[in-house]
Structure 1
C-alpha cells in the first residue's frame, strides 16, 4: 500500500504547498455568495477583471449564461442567468453583484445564448465582450439560421454595469459553407500591447481560433484574421504576457460531458500576440498536428474536465488561474446540464513555462490564499521527481512470424505480419465506441499491480488527408464496454493523441464515453510512442496517458479513474476504416516501483 500511495503522489497529484502559520488559506471550489445568502453552484467560462479605479484591491468575476442554483426555476426548467457578476477583495470570497443583462441585447436573437464573457478596461470605460450564439436575422448574412454566432460588446462606466450593448457585432457571423454552415465565432479574449494596440482572439472547434486587431473604439475588428489555434482541437483562448513573450492558454475536447468530461488546458507561446504559438516541443498550435503543452490535465481526484481559464496576478505579483471543472460526486443540475463550479490554482513560471498547481492538476486541499497586500512572498515551486523504478514483466518483440501463445484475436483482424520487431497491420472497418463494438483487437492478459505499458506505432494518415476517425493504439479493458484507450487519431483534418474512457453500466441519462488529449502525434509514417501508467488503490485504478514524438521527451496527458479489475486485458487496435498502414513496435509491460521499494 505504501508503494501505491507514493506512486499516486509521483504520477497524479500536485506538489503540496504548505501554508505558513496564521496564513490565509482557501480550498476549491471558490465560494460565490448569492443575494439570498446561498452559494452559487456554477460559474462556467470564468473571467476576472481587477478594477483599476478602485481605491482598494477589488476584482470582478464574470460567468457564462447558465443556472446558478437548483432552487431557481423558470417555467418548467432551470433559470438561466445572463452572465452573472461577482465581486471580491481577496480572490477567494465572491459576492453577487448583478446579472450583466436582464434580457438578450441586440443583435442577439430572442433564443440566443450569451457565453464566455470577457471584461476589459480601456481609456476610462469598461467593456464586456461575449459570444452571441444566434444573431437576429436582420444582422445575419443568412437569415433563418440559428447557429450564426458572433462576438458582441457592451460598455459601462462601472465593472458592475449597467451595460449598454453596442447593438452591432464586433465579429460578424462567418459562413463556412452553403446554407446554415458557419464557423464557431465564440470565446472572445482581449489583450493590449505595450504601445496600446489591442487584439481580439475568438473562435472554437468549428473553424479554429483567430486573432485580429481591434479598432480604436473597440467596437469592431480590422485587418486580416490570423489562425492561432487548430480547428477541431481548441477553444476558450486566454492570452497573457510574461517576460516579453505571449502565452496562449486554450481548452481541448468536450467541456460538458458530466463525469466523463475530459476538458483540459494546453499552452503555447509566441514572440508577438499574432503568433505563431508553439509548445515546449516546437509544435504549432494552429497546425493540423496540433501542438499544445498540457498545463492543467485532470489528475484522478474529485475534479475532472478543468478548463476555459483566466490568468491574473494578486497584489504581490503571484500569478493565479481561475477555471471551471466538474465535481465527479455531483456533476449535473440534471443529466445533460453539467455543473461547472469555479476553481483557482497558483501559476508558477519555470524555465519560461507556466506550471499550474505544482504541475499536478486541479487541487483539492487547503492551500495558501492569494496575497491581499504587496508584502507577501511565495517560495518557488519545486517540481517532484518521478520517484519511480521499473521492473520488466514481459516484452513482445514481434520477431515473427507468429505471436506468443498468450496473445489472441477478438474479431477477424484481416491480414497482418510480425517480423523484425514490427507488427505490420492495417486499419479495419469498425469501431470500439459506445454501442459499436466491431473493431478487431489483439489481446493479452495484463499482470496485477501498478504497471507501465509502452509501445510505439506508425499510422499512415497524411496531413492533407481527411480521414474520418482513423486510429490505432492500445486499450486496457475488462470488456468491450469498460476500458481506457490511448490512440493516435486522424479525424476530419485533425491529428492528435487521444485518451478515452468507456464504462457500463451508467445511470440513466449519463454518458458512457469521454475523451481527453495526451499530445501531438509524429508525422505520417513516423513513430509515435505511447505510454499508459496505472496505479491502484483498493478497487480504484488511476490510468494516466503519455505520448512522445521521439521516445525521449514525453507529454503527459490526463488521468482517468476506472475499475477494470486486478488483471484486465491489454489490446492493440487499428480501426476506423479499411486499408491504412499501421505498424506497432515492441510492447513492454513493467511493474512500477517507488524509489523506496525497489528490489
Structure 2
C-alpha cells in the first residue's frame, strides 16, 4: 500500500512545492512527526506561543505504551522549534490535578487559543460536556473554569457535546463550534471567551460528522470537519471535508453548493486515505509557517501498526494508534486541499519554514544583532515571552535587523503590545525615511499602515474592534507580494484575524530590506522577523480518468433478461427484470454484513490488471437501511462496496440521510482478539435519485495489496473522488451488484461499464 492508486503519486511529485531557498538545501520531514516521541496523538491542535515555539495538544491516550506505561496521559503536550521535531512537554492534568467535576470522564479533543494575554485550552469530556483551562504559559500552570456549555445551550443542539473549537471573528466576537454524531452547532461566547452563551444554531449534519474547526480566508468562513468514524484501526473511514459561508453562523455549503444541513453526503474533501500507509486521516487543526504557507495538522492511522493492545488491565480496549501528521494545505479555486489533492504524505517532504531569514525572538534577553534608530530600547524577560524588546521614550524609534531579506516578496511578522502610543512592524526597511510600517496605534484605535518614501507618506487606516486590548500581545503579519500588501492582526495566527487590511503600494517601496519593530511611547515587541513569501500551488493533481471501454466486461442491459455473463449468489433475486435498457431490482429484506450474509449478489468476472467499474443508478430510498450499488467482490466476507444508502441521522427524530457509502469488509487481525470480519464505511459526495458510481481497482504489487478508490457523480461529468480502501491481496475480485437491506425501494441500473485504467 505504498503507491497511490493509479498515477496519483507520479502526478503529485510534479506539483510545484514552494521553497524559500535552494530546493537542494531545503529541509525535509516525514510523517508521523510524533514518531519516537509518543505512540499516539489523537485530535491534535497547535499554536505558536509567545516564546517562538510551537505547542501541540492531544486527546487523553496511552502515549507511552511502548515504553511500558500501562496508562494514559491527560491532554498531553508536545513542543517544537520547527514543527517537525517534537519533544514531550507535559500534560494539562494529572490524576492528582484532574478536577472533581469531571467525574472520572476521559478528556478528548483539546483546542488551544490565545485570548487576552492567556492560553485558553478547551476540551471535551467523554460524558458530553465542554471544559476550559487557562494558563499564563503554553505548559501551565492550568486553572480550570469548569463546564462552559450551559444546559440551556446544550438543549438547543441535538448532538454529542464534544469536539469543540473556538473562533474569533473580525469584530472581536468569540464563537464556539462543537458536535459529534451527527450534527455540528455554533453559539456565541462571552467577551472573555470563558463561557458559551445564548442559543446554539445547527450548521452541519451528516453521518458521523464531528470535529468542526473554522478558519476565515478571503471573505469566507471555512468549516473543516470529519465524518465516517475515527477509531477503527485500518478500517477507519475518517476523512476531512470543508464547507464555506460568508457568516460564522452559516449557511455553509460544499464545493457543489450543497448546504451542510441537507440530508445527504457532502463533497469538498480536504484529505482522505490515498492508498499509502495512512488510514482514517481526520480531526484537523491548522498552522501557518513563517513563509505564509498553511499546514493541516491532523492524525492518521498507520496500517502497519494500527491498534493498541488492551490498556489498563483491559479497562480500555479497542483503541487505535493515531499519531500526529502535518501536510501542506493548498487553497485552489477557493477550496482547501492537502498537497493539491495528493493526500497524506509518506516519505520525505519539504519541511515548513520555521526560521526567519532575518530577525529573531530575543530569546537570550539581549538586543545583540539588532540596530537601534532612536533611543529607548532595552531587553526584558518574562515567563511566557521569555526575551523581548521594550521601548520607553519620546519620539519614534526603530529596532531593525542588521541583515536584509534577499527578496522583496516577504512575510514579516511581530508580536506587539502598546501600553501607550503605538507599536509597529516595519519591513522593506532602509531607514526611518524609507520603509513600510504596520502600526497598532492606540491613540487612533486602529491598524495604520504607512508607506514612507523620503518625504512622501501614504497612510491607510482600519479601525480595530471596540475593546481591543492594546496592552495585551497581538500578532501582526505583513505579506508583501509584488506591490500588494496584506496585513493581518490576530491573537494567535489560527486563521482568525481580528482585522485585515489590503492595499497596493508604490513599486519604489516594494523592495528587499530590513525588518524590525517601531515604537512611539511605551511599547514591546517579540518574535520579529521575515522570511521569503511562499509560492502558492494553484492547480490540483489531475484526477485519473478511465481509459478505453471493455465491452466484454460491460452490460447496457439491452436485452430482456439478465445475460449469461452474470451469475447469482443466493439468487435469482425476486422481482429482478431487464427491460427498456434497465436492470430493475427491488430491495430485499436481506443483508451482506459481517456474519449476516443473506442478500443476493449478482456477479460477473472482472478483467486482469487495473480497471474502473462504473454504473448509472436510479434509486430513491425512503426508509433507513435501504441501499443499492456496485461491489468488487471476493466473497461474502471480503469485498468493497459503493452504494447509495439511506442511513438514519442520530438524534434526528427519524430523519434519513441519503449517503454515498463506500465500505469495505474483511478481516482485522491486529485487534485483541482478532476480528474475523470487520466492516466500516467512508462517505463520498452528495447523493441523488440518479447517480453515477465508480470503483477503481489497483494491485499494489510491491506490498501485495488490493487498493480500491471510489467516486460519485450526480451528473456523470463532475466527480467527487473518495479515499482509498485497501486489503491484503488474496483471491480475484469480481464485479457485482446489490439491492438490499430493507424492502420497499427499487434500484434501476442503466448500465455497468468497465474501463481499462
Q: With the length of structure 1 as denominator, give the TM-score of the two structures.
A: 0.87
Structure 1 residue aligned with 2:720, among 544, 555, 567?
A: 555
User: How big is the shift at 1:255?
Assistant: 0.8
Alignment partner, residue 303 of structure 2 = 328
Aligned in 2, Cα 1:11/1:452: closer, same or farther, shift over 3 Å?
A: farther
Structure-to-structure mapping, 1:110-259, within 5 angstroms: 110-134=103-127, 149-172=128-151, 183-206=159-182, 208-259=183-234
Q: Deviations over 1:43-84 (max 9, x none)?
A: 100001122x33xx322100010010224566xxx3111101
8 Å contact kept, 2:6–2:544: no
1:405 matched to 2:564? The reply is yes
Q: Distance in 1 between matches of 2:152 and 2:207?
A: 18
User: How big is the shift at 1:107?
Assistant: 6.0
Alignment partner, residue 385 of structure 1 = 542
**Of 574-583 and 6-15, the range deviating more from structure 2:** 6-15
Q: Distance in 2 between matches of 1:231 and 1:173?
A: 24
1:41 matched to 2:200? The reply is no
User: How big is the shift at 1:563?
Assistant: 4.6
User: How big is the shift at 1:377?
Assistant: 4.0
Aligned in 2, Cα 1:501/1:5: closer, same or farther, shift over 3 Å?
A: closer
8 Å contact kept, 1:24–1:369: yes
Structure 2 residue aligned with 1:571, among 727, 736, 757?
A: 736
Alignment partner, residue 281 of structure 1 = 256
User: How big is the shift at 1:8?
Assistant: 2.6
Alignment partner, residue 27 of structure 2 = 24
Q: Deviations over 1:133-172 (max 9, x none)?
A: 23xxxxxxxxxxxxxx111111111221111111333344
8 Å contact kept, 2:265–2:684: no
SS at match of 1:160: coil
Q: Deviations over 1:202-238 (max 9, x none)?
A: 11015x1101111123222223211122153311111
User: How big is the shift at 1:435?
Assistant: 0.8
Structure-to-structure mapping, 1:399-478, within 5 angstroms: 399-412=558-571, 413-462=573-622, 467-478=623-634
Alignment partner, residue 419 of structure 2 = none
Cα RMSD between the aligned structures? Answer: 2.4
Q: Deviations over 1:428-464 (max 9, x none)?
A: 01111111111111111111111011012122224xx
Structure 2 residue aligned with 1:528, among 688, 691, 701?
A: 691
Q: Deviations over 1:259-298 (max 9, x none)?
A: 2111111111111111111111011112211323111010
Structure 2 residue aligned with 1:339, among 316, 321, 325?
A: 321
Q: Distance in 2 between matches of 1:564 and 1:422?
A: 33
Q: Distance in 2 between matches of 1:289 and 1:12?
A: 33
8 Å contact kept, 2:177–2:186: yes
**Of 240-249 and 561-570, the range deviating more from structure 2:** 561-570
| Structure 1 unaligned residues grouped into runs of 5+ | 33-37, 135-148, 593-599
Q: Distance in 1 between matches of 2:668 and 2:141?
A: 48
User: How big is the shift at 1:567?
Assistant: 4.2
| Structure 2 unaligned residues grouped into runs of 5+ | 311-317, 357-529, 649-655
User: How big is the shift at 1:531?
Assistant: 0.6
User: How big is the shift at 1:536?
Assistant: 2.1
User: How big is the shift at 1:468?
Assistant: 2.6
Larger radius of gyration: 2
SS at match of 1:241: strand
Structure 1 residue aligned with 2:643, among 472, 487, 494?
A: 487
8 Å contact kept, 2:265–2:660: no
Q: Distance in 1 between matches of 2:206 and 2:732?
A: 39
SS at match of 2:664: strand
**Of 39-48 and 329-338, the range deviating more from structure 2:** 329-338
8 Å contact kept, 1:10–1:386: yes
Aligned length: 553
Aligned in 2, Cα 1:277/1:484: closer, same or farther, shift over 3 Å?
A: same
Q: Deviations over 1:148-197 (max 9, x none)?
A: x11111111122111111133334498789xxx98410011111111101
Q: Deviations over 1:391-439 (max 9, x none)?
A: 2112311123112111122113111221112111111011111111111
1:376 matched to 2:532? The reply is yes
Q: Distance in 1 between matches of 2:602 and 2:340?
A: 38
Alignment partner, residue 7 of structure 2 = 9
